[in-house]
């Protein structure tokens, strides 16, 4: 490897990282929270109480009773049962699609009490799902544009990873090197540690992220084989991804059986209480069918399903289907690896920590960029103002994004239940906060920006359990007392996050005064950001 090649790659690494840095940081943070999206959903709808020891048979009977009353003529019913990560007992139904109408009928949704079968009224919220969606669909813009932007950012990330490996002469030696309190060297060591240790995760998550959006970002390949236009495109999707071909409604009325009649067969095959969902399509049609989904992801493949004919109760399909093509299997493996739905609690925490390390990698990279240039820029005055501006925005983004997510949770507790467009305003509150954080970082004296924002964010997170206790029936003490570990873990995580931010603020404070005392030069006038845990 020649020196000039390595220098070129160094340049590429620096600029690919810096230009996409803040967006990638946002993607890493929101995507990482996505590993606990259903748990966050649960926290954001505290009206729904956890259930224990209600048999699935009883719940399904309650769901059928409610659906028969509220949606007797719907063509599709869907029943979700509470499972390990999915605390909700909910029903969905779709209005009959009007003949010749372009759009399909509207879907409706209710959450039910597993004990009484009564509808549970919950606050309107985007929940963890909206946070998770932001990491690829962003917000306030059409999906396709957002997919293109996030995919391009992922491409920058991939290039950053590859060039990062190339410029690393002693990748394994550096891995064990850490020189605290050496300013630039410390930042570099930290950046290396956060990048190299979880490097397989970073590569996997970036590449699989690109793959997940491939049908949107690489439409030319589809068009060259299937032809242009929407029909050709959907023909490809059907060929490549149709899990199994469900028959469409024939338009011939026929008596359908109740799904309750099939429970015995399901118990024989799967054992008791293993159902994640029941989906009924083409109700009262000769092609009506009933699909059961299994709770467990046993492997990287999609979870098992069983589909029955609703007229005679014959088994029609069972997945995983053996004939799935190699391409679809590869795609499936990548998407499962990316989403980690198969993972148990411990593995999901590992995913979570790896994701945070990814965010840390991007953040330390951006900080390193500024720290590296600070001395020479201060000396020569060249590019000094631009550098300070980037340093400010670094603080605004790196601290402002977590702060805005804290405010998203605050909004969930503080907005009144009947607030119009409540779910959307939770998100607005989040982005308004991010805007304020960026303005704040530009406006305040640079030596104060990091420390003040870190303290504010610490307070925002640490106070969340208190806010929750004051505004809802639910509080941390009770969660622990009654063993409601989903709620308790989330609020304890808020507390820990708050403590970590406070510690970071404290560290920045002490480092700054240390520098003030021992240097006569201008170092103290510029911020010495986040010396976390050094």
Partner 1 sequence: MTKLLNAQSNSAIFSRVVAAILGAYFLANLVAIAISFIVTGPMAGGVAIGMLSSYLVYGAAIIWVFAAATATQAWLGLASACLISGLLIIGLKWIEL
DSSP-derived letter for residue 356 is H
Q: Which of 5, 65, 107, 482 binds partner 1 (CB under 8 A)?
A: 5
Residue span 12-51 as binding mask against partner 1, x where in contact by CB under 8 A, dash where not? x---------------------------------------
Residue 61 near partner 1 by CB under 8 A: no
The CB-side HSE value for 247 (13 A sphere, CA atoms) comes to: 18
Q: Which of residues 125-164 bind partner 1 (CB under 8 A)?
A: 152, 155, 158-159, 162-163
Query: Is residue 471 within 8 Å of 410, Cβ to Cβ?
Result: no
| Selected range binding partner 1 among 53-61, 63-71, 218-226, 485-493, rule: CB under 8 A | 218-226
| Selected range binding partner 1 among 323-331, 367-375, 393-401, 433-441, rule: CB under 8 A | 323-331
Three-class secondary structure of residue 462 per DSSP: helix
Residue 203 near partner 1 by CB under 8 A: no
Give 157 or 343: the residue with its C-beta nearer to partner 1.
Answer: 157
Calpha distance 252→144 (Å, rounded): 38
b/e map 169-178, b = 16+ CB within 10 Å: eeeeebbeee
Minimum CB separation from partner 1 for residue 35, in Å? 23
Residue 471 near partner 1 by CB under 8 A: no
Q: Where are the alpha helices (DSSP H) in 143-290?
A: 143-167, 171-175, 184-196, 199-212, 214-217, 219-226, 230-241, 263-270
Give 9 or 363: the residue with its C-beta nearer to partner 1.
Answer: 9
Calpha distance 426→405 (Å, rounded): 10
Q: Is it true that the peptide bond before 320 is cis, omega within 30 degrees of 0? A: yes
Residue span 225-264 as binding mask against partner 1, x where in contact by CB under 8 A, dash where not? xx---------x--xx------------------------
What order of strands is seen across the sheet that includes strand 315-319?
A: 119-120, 107-112, 90-94, 76-80, 275-281, 289-294, 305-309, 315-319
| Selected range binding partner 1 among 181-189, 224-232, 423-431, 481-489, rule: CB under 8 A | 224-232
CA distances from 284 to 100, 255, 263, 309, 311 (A): 20, 6, 19, 12, 9
Residue 205 near partner 1 by CB under 8 A: no
Give 222 or 460: the residue with its C-beta nearer to partner 1.
Answer: 222
Q: Which of 7, 70, 250, 470 binds partner 1 (CB under 8 A)?
A: 7
> Under the rule (CB under 8 A), what is the footprint of partner 1?
4-5, 7-9, 11-12, 152, 155, 158-159, 162-163, 166, 207, 210-211, 214-215, 218, 220-222, 224-226, 236, 239-240, 325-328, 330-331
């Amino acid at each position: 490897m020649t020196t000039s090649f390595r220098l070129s790659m160094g340049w590429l690494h620096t600029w690919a990282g810096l230009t996409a840095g803040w967006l990638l940081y946002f993607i890493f943070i929101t995507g990482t929270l996505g590993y606990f999206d259903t748990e966050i959903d649960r926290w954001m709808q505290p009206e729904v109480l956890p259930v224990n020891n209600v048999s699935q048979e009883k719940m399904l009977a309650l769901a059928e009773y409610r659906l028969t009353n509220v949606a007797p003529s719907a063509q599709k019913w869907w029943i979700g049962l509470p499972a390990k990560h999915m605390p909700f007992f909910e029903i969905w139904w779709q209005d009959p699609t009007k003949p010749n109408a372009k759009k399909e009928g509207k879907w409706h949704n209710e959450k039910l009490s597993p004990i009484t079968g009564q509808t549970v009224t919950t606050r309107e919220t985007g929940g963890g799902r909206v946070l998770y969606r932001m990491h690829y669909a962003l917000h306030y813009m059409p999906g396709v544009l957002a997919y293109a932007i996030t995919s391009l950012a992922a491409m920058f990330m991939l290039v950053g990873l590859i060039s990062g490996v190339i410029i690393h002469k002693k990748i394994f030696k550096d891995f064990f090197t850490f020189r605290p309190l050496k300013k630039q060297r410390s930042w570099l060591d930290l950046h290396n540690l956060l990048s190299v240790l979880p490097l397989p995760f970073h590569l996997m998550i970036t590449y699989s992220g690109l793959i997940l959006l491939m049908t949107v970002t690489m439409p030319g390949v589809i068009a060259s084989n299937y032809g242009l236009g929407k029909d050709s495109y959907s023909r490809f999707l059907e060929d490549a991804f149709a899990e199994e071909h469900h028959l469409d409604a024939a338009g011939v009325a026929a008596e359908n059986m109740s799904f309750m009649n099939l429970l015995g067969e399901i118990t024989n095959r799967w054992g008791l209480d293993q159902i994640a969902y029941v989906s009924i399509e083409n109700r009262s049609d000769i092609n009506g069918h009933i699909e059961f989904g299994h709770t467990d992801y046993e492997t990287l493949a999609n979870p098992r399903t069983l589909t029955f004919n609703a007229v005679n109760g014959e088994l029609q399909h069972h997945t995983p289907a053996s004939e799935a093509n190699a391409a679809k299997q590869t795609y499936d493996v990548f998407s499962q690896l990316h989403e980690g739905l198969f993972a148990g609690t411990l593995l999901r925490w590992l995913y979570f920590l790896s994701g945070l390390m990814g965010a840390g990698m991007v953040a330390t990279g951006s900080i390193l960029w500024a720290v590296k240039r600070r001395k020479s820029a201060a000396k020569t005055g060249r590019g000094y103002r631009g550098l300070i501006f980037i340093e400010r925005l670094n603080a605004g983004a790196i601290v402002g994004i977590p702060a805005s997510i804290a405010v998203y949770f605050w909004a969930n507790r503080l907005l009144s239940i009947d607030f119009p467009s409540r779910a959307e305003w939770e998100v607005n509150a989040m982005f308004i906060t991010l805007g304020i954080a960026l303005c704040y970082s530009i406006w305040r004296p640079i030596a104060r920006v990091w420390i003040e924002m870190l303290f504010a964010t610490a307070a925002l997170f640490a106070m969340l359990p208190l806010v929750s206790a004051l505004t809802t029936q639910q509080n941390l003490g009770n969660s622990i007392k009654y063993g409601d570990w989903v709620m308790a873990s989330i609020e304890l995580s808020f507390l820990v996050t708050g403590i970590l931010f406070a510690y970071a603020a404290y560290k920045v404070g002490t480092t700054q005064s240390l520098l003030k005392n021992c240097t006569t030069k201008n170092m103290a006038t510029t911020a010495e950001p986040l010396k976390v845990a050094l």
